[in-house]
Amino acid sequence: MVDTEVLIVGAGPVGLTLAVDLGLRGVRCTLVEQKEAPQFLPKMERCNARTMEIFRRMGLADRIRAAGLPAHCPMDVFIVTSILEPPLLHLPYPSVAEARKTIAASTDASLPLEPYQLISQYTLEPLLKSFAETLPSVTVRYGTEFLDFVENPGSVTARLRSGSRTAELTALFLAGCDGGSSPIRKQLGIALRGEANILELRQALYRCDGLYERIPIGKGRHYHVADAQHTFLILQDSTRHFTLHAVVEQDSDMVAQFAKTIAMPLPFEMINCGVWRQNLLIADRYGSGSRVFLAGDAVHLVIPTGGLGMNTGCGDAIDLSWKLAATIAGWGGPNLLRSYEIERRQVGERNVAAARFAAAGRRKWRSMWRPNICDDTPEGAEARANLARIANVEQRKSNEMVGAELGYRYIGSPLIAAEAGEGPDHNFIDYVPSTYPGVRLPHVWLEDGTAVQDRIGYGHGYALLRFAGSGDVRALGRAFAAYGAPYAVLDLPDQRARDVYGCDLILVRPDLHVVWRGNALPEDPARLAALATGH
């Protein structure tokens, strides 16, 4: 007898995303979190384009945008000696409103359906929590500490503590979204490997109501100060709160560091402060392989250059969610859950590498700092010019990794019909749209103004995109029906979309990754359905 179908440990953005998606799929899940409530702490501050596409599928994108940074605010990045002086480098990036206009006019599938959104973790978590609590099949329990678990032949039993009371809860599956120090990962004996404690900084959150409107060099998202302390000022979604990173001796030094950075006599409050360490680590395994699975920071820790931490974790959650739901519903084959680690660990490895690539770029331009950089001398001018020249190449690596966000694909997955040839190259920076099996389905506008992604129903499971002239496809429908798997055919008469996608038939799975493509069904449609459903 099980108490819940999926027990999720950890109510950060990854655990909450998993709970919401499972709840929307009708899976009974229980989400437990040791904290009594979401906390007002500076952590992630941007949902990337792929994550916003995921939240759009959930019906949450508009709510997230309403809670986040206003759509008209620029996302510019500055490198400065002072926010009162002309910047050494100004990298302009469009506001959400501007990005949406560009996306609306795009016809070549090179852009996402949704642009990024700056939203602080302390804003996103309560939003996801409140939505999760409206879903009938989701139970949310804060103030509940996970202690340990026992993996049974057909279930997992966890010990939980609420106050002075300890109780057991039995679930079909356990999902550890419990952060970088994951007790679940540690109980499984899974190691993290890579580069640890690369740099130790302090991070503090401040309220300074007048700062955003008064920065004279221009409104932006990030202000990197060229100094010996690696000072970095980050705008939060309210435009009244800011995060500051710096290498200083003690927490109290961060008060003076913020005052020095804003360089104006404005009142401010330091809300909290703590030490954080830069890591580039990935877990050897993503769970036990059968009943216990890990996601998010529990399996990959990255330097936030490129914003690939929480966003990678949301990708983990969506991959795991539909596979758990399919297995619980009875139509998912044994390869479905086995594929989770195969698919997501390679993305974790690539994104750790992407963060390393971006962080190395940032270290390179920061290494050009010289003590005389602010001097009004020929030597000072040369130091500023050299740093700006290097930063104009290297800082872009942190802010322009669209390829890492949108261009990832699943290689060697037992759920993907691989084609001959190596497929598109992995490129952190550039995104080249493709329907090669394993990729995310590129966004294309149809002639009626709707997006292909929006035409594929959230609960439809698998979808076969069929363009004109592609013949009888009923055999594939019968093959999916034999497993009881949800499946639909989506007829698309749009020639432009067909030209962009390059095939008459494209089979996508519930997370909108391409399973197979062709101009006619394969000779054995039943084999394709078996592969797609994990049989």
Residues 295 and 315 both lie in one domain: yes
Contact 461, 483 (CB under 8 A): no
47 assigned to some structural domain: yes
Residue 170 belongs to domain with CATH number: 3.50.50.60
CA distance 294 to 9: 10
Amino acid, single-letter form, for residue 369: W
Helix (H) or strand (E) holding 96: helix 96-105
Q: What is the DSSP string of 282-342?
A: EES-SB-SSSEEE-GGGTEE--STTS-HHHHHHHHHHHHHHHHHHHHHT---HHHHHHHHH
Q: Are strands 145-151 and 156-162 parallel, antiparallel or unpaired?
A: antiparallel
- Confirm whether 11 is domain-assigned: yes
Q: Is the domain of 189 the same as that of 238?
A: no
Residue type, 178: D
In a domain, 361, yes or no: no
pLDDT at site 306? 86
Count of residues making up the chain: 535
User: Looking at the structure, do residues 420 and 519 belong to the same domain, yes or no?
Assistant: yes
399, part of any domain: no
Longest alpha-carbon distance in the chain: 78
Residue 459 has a pLDDT of: 72
346 and 203 within one domain = no
Phi, psi of 90 (to 5 degrees): -125, 115
| Sign of the C-alpha dihedral computed for residues 313, 317, 323 and 328 taken in this order | positive
Structural domains counted in the chain: 3
45 lies in the same domain as 181? yes
> Which of 128, 126, 140, 129 has its CA nearest to residue 40?
126
**Per-residue model confidence (pLDDT) at position 465:** 96
Report yes or no on 32 lying in a domain.
yes
pLDDT on residue 424? 83
Q: Tell whether 419 and 528 lie within a shared domain.
A: yes
Please check whether residue 404 lies inside any domain of the structure: no
Q: At what angle do helices 309-329 and 13-24 cross, to 10 degrees?
A: 30
List phi, psi (to 5°) of 473.
-120, 15
Query: Is position 169 within any domain?
Result: yes
Q: Say how far apart CA 20 and CA 309 lie, in whole Å.
A: 19
CATH code, 111? 3.30.9.10
- 74 in the same domain as 63: no
Give the pLDDT of residue 195.
96
Residue in the structure block whose two tokens are 């809860």: 169
pLDDT tens per residue, the chain (535 residues)?
Answer: 899 999 999 999 999 999 999 999 999 999 999 999 999 887 888 999 999 999 999 999 999 999 999 999 999 999 999 999 999 999 999 999 999 999 999 999 999 999 999 999 999 999 999 999 999 999 999 999 999 999 999 999 999 999 999 999 999 999 999 999 999 999 999 999 999 999 999 999 999 999 999 999 999 999 999 999 999 999 999 999 999 999 999 999 999 999 999 999 999 999 999 999 999 999 999 999 899 999 999 999 999 888 899 999 999 999 999 999 999 999 999 999 999 999 999 999 999 999 999 999 999 999 999 999 999 999 999 999 999 999 999 999 999 999 999 999 999 999 999 998 778 888 899 999 999 999 999 999 999 999 999 999 887 699 999 997 667 899 999 999 999 999 999 999 899 999 999 999 999 999 999 999 999 999 999 999 999 999 9
The one-letter code for the residue type at 151 is: E
Residue 397 resides in a domain: no
Same domain for 431 and 525? yes
Could you tell me if 437 and 455 lie in one domain? yes
Cβ atoms 279, 182 nearer than 8 A: no
Are residues 416 and 473 located together in one domain of the fold? Answer: yes
Q: Which domain holds residue 438?
A: 411-532
**Residue linked to tokens 């669209």:** 402
Site of tokens 């030094």: 253
Distance of alpha carbon 292 from the chain centroid: 21
Q: At 469, which CATH number?
A: 3.40.30.120
**Do 326 and 429 belong together in one domain?**
no
pTM > 0.95: yes or no: yes
Whether residue 378 is found in the same domain as residue 492: no
Residue 186: C-alpha distances to residues 26, 34, 149, 318 (Å): 30, 17, 11, 23
